[in-house]
Amino acid sequence: MTKEKLAALPDGVRLAVSPLSWANDVLEDLGADIAVETCLDDAARAGYQGVELGRKLPRSREALAPLLESRGLALASGWHSGELAERGVEAEMAAVATHAELLRAMGSTVLVYGEVAMMAPGAPLDAPMSARCVMPKEDIAAYAARLTDFSARLAGEYGLTLAYHHHLMMVAETFDEVSALFDKAGSAAGLLLDTGHAAAGGFDYTRLIERFGDRIVHIHLKDVRGPVIAEVRAGDLSFNAGVRRGMFTVPGGGIVDFAPLAAFVRQSGYQGWLVVEAEQDPALAPPLPAVTAAFRHILDTFAA
């Protein structure tokens, strides 16, 4: 039955799940008692073909490969906390080396880049949403040039395509900010489309498809609970407070319509991973039922 459902996906498109449904990467109390083996067993049982890196996964090929291969899972990608907003390409290449080597060794072809420089001081994900730092317009061209250079070197030295993650509380949160950056970044820099971060950032993800569909190299399938994100914005709460209140959920659990995404993937010739992802408290949203329901929702959407 699982293989029959996966047949709904176009050739060259695979479905993965993020470990965030089991253990949060920032709020370490969420999922602290869940073993990595449980996460991987659940992912395989639900029918997924791969996972992304999470904080509980080992960071050596020797330890990681057996865990995944024994369950028939591949490594789709992994997040790199980049700081090109405030440092040069040489420093970024040094910072990414160990991570990029692991991704290459595991057969991954995409690196998820999240910009963590130029964020609110202190603990930025605990700061009110209004405290987000905005990059001055006059700095965007130079940032885009560094990002392009870094992307080209990442591809040349590691065979990895950079997938830039637009993200709440970071310098590319809104549609206009993503557009301003990608209007200036060269073709070496790819875009990660995150359906949930788009909705929570105040815009429909289809706008990114229409504007930058040919730049999309990796896709995160995340849903948003509308009343919760409205509450977070109205109360000027923090990102982490929003996560704890359940602003994100898996596909099918919120307000995001995934039919346009399925149409884009079918019609564009997109090749790569679709990654179900949701920062949720596993005590409130038991992971296996949640990711199993998401698996069915996405494949039913593609089959429609």
- pLDDT digit string (tens) for 251-301? 999 999 999 999 999 999 999 999 999 999 999 999 999 999 999 999 999
User: What average pLDDT does range 40-51 have in this prediction?
Assistant: 98
Identify the pLDDT of residue 289: 98
Query: What one-character DSSP code corresponds to residue 204?
Result: -
Q: What is the pLDDT of residues 170-184, one digit of tens each?
A: 999 999 999 999 999
In this prediction, residue 207 carries a pLDDT of: 98
Q: Using one digit for the tens of pLDDT, what is the confidence trace for 64-85? A: 999 999 999 999 999 999 999 9
Distance CA 232, CA 128 (A): 9
Compute the distance between CA of residue 238 and CA of residue 132 in angstroms, rounded to an integer.
Answer: 10
Tell me the pLDDT of the chain averaged across its residues: 97
pLDDT score at 5? 77
Single-letter code of the amino acid located at 140: I
CB atoms within 10 A of CB 72: 11
Q: Are 113 and 80 in contact (CB under 8 A)?
A: yes
pLDDT at 1 over 70: no
Whether residue 133 contacts residue 119, with contact meaning beta carbons closer than 8 Å, is answered with yes
In whole angstroms, give the CA distance from residue 180 to residue 248.
26
| Residue 10 DSSP one-character state | P
**CA 72 to CA 41: how far, in whole Å?**
10
pTM for the model stands at 0.97
